[in-house]
Structure 1
């Protein structure tokens, strides 16, 4: 199979986990008793653990290898500050799309990094595809619930939109493979920028949502999300 086709399929599969997560949330709304509050918080925390594993195991190590220390620090800080400003803007607009924006904001740069990894002959492409899939499932779940609660869009429309957004993955992956893979410094900057933004989102949005009094399941969810990322990293290595 041509490598470009593999990139396309991996990015498409990772993107498809967004509407899959949304369908899971839709089923949960139709049958609210089957999942329960603890497992909903577990899913939120699982997504946070998977996001942190992507930062710790792929994005930051690969990013700092391509940049000087001052440049790496600047890119990481810029990502955190940018997502902070975006969060303020969404709050002022009273938008219900916070989870949706967060999902796309980490999915697109990670898909670009996936394609660039294959173009550079690195062994992190498969791992990154696996981690993106782990992230997008709970993020799709959370984003659907947030949008559905707002009542501004029909639930079928939300799922259709998620399916359309999944197609951004192949476009971003092929852009990384054919274009940005030739510029390792740019890719390193993008990875660290995304890392700073993702870390902000985890502690501003995901971790507070995962908190639930008198239960330990959410914390275990974060451990499980990171654990799967760690296992994937060791297998890829």
Structure 2
């Protein structure tokens, strides 16, 4: 299989986790009390664990390669500040699409990193695709709920919107593969900025949703999500 087709399949798989999460959320509308049960919190935590493993095992190790310590630190911090600014902007405008924007803001740079990784001959593309899919699933779930609660779109329209947005991943991955891979420092910088932003998002949006009184499964979900990334990392580097 040609590498560009491989990137297309990986990014499409990762992106389609968004509408899949929306499908689960739409089924839940039949039983709304399920949102407050342990499973939903555990799934959200699992996505957070997958995000942390993507940061620790892929984005940061590959992102710091061409940079000095001060530059690496500045780029990582810049990602956190950038996501904070987006978060503040969304709060001020009180938009119902806040979770949607947050989902795309990490999906696109991660897809760029995926395409560039394959172009540069690194073995982390498949691992990164799995981790992106694992985070997109709960994010798609939460974004569906936000849009549904706004009352402006039907379930079918929201799901079709998610399918359309999933196409942004293949576009970003192929752009990185054909045009950005030759700019190693630029791609590494994108990885570090994305890592800093994702870490901000984990503690701002995901971690607060995980805790559930008198239930201990959700934090374990975060551990399991990180373990998934660890296993994939070890398999691709053995």
CA deviation map 1:176-203 (0-9, x unaligned)? 1111111110011000000111011110
TM-score, with length taken from structure 1: 0.96
Q: Which stretches of structure 1, 4 residues or longer, exceed 3 Å deviation after superposition?
A: 31-36
Q: Residues of 1 paired with 2:33 and 2:213: CA distance?
A: 19
CA positional deviation for 1:46: 1.0
CA positional deviation for 1:5: 0.7
Q: Between Structure 1 and Structure 2, how many residues are aligned? A: 237
CA RMSD in angstroms comes to 1.2
CA deviation map 1:12-67 (0-9, x unaligned)? 11111110111011111123466761111111111111111100010000001121
CA deviation map 1:140-189 (0-9, x unaligned)? 11111122122222221111100000111110010111111111100110
Structure 1 stretches of 5 or more lacking a match?
none
Q: Secondary structure of 2:29's partner?
A: helix
Does the 8 Å CA contact 2:28/2:34 hold for their aligned counterparts? yes
In structure 2, do the counterparts of structure 1 residues 116 and 156 end up closer, same or farther at CA, with 3 Å as the change threshold? Answer: same
Other-structure match for 2:124: 124
CA deviation map 1:119-142 (0-9, x unaligned)? 100111111111111111111111
Other-structure match for 2:222: 222
Matches within 5 A, 1:74-89: 74-89=74-89
Other-structure match for 1:63: 63
TM-score, with length taken from structure 2: 0.96
Structure 2 stretches of 5 or more lacking a match?
none
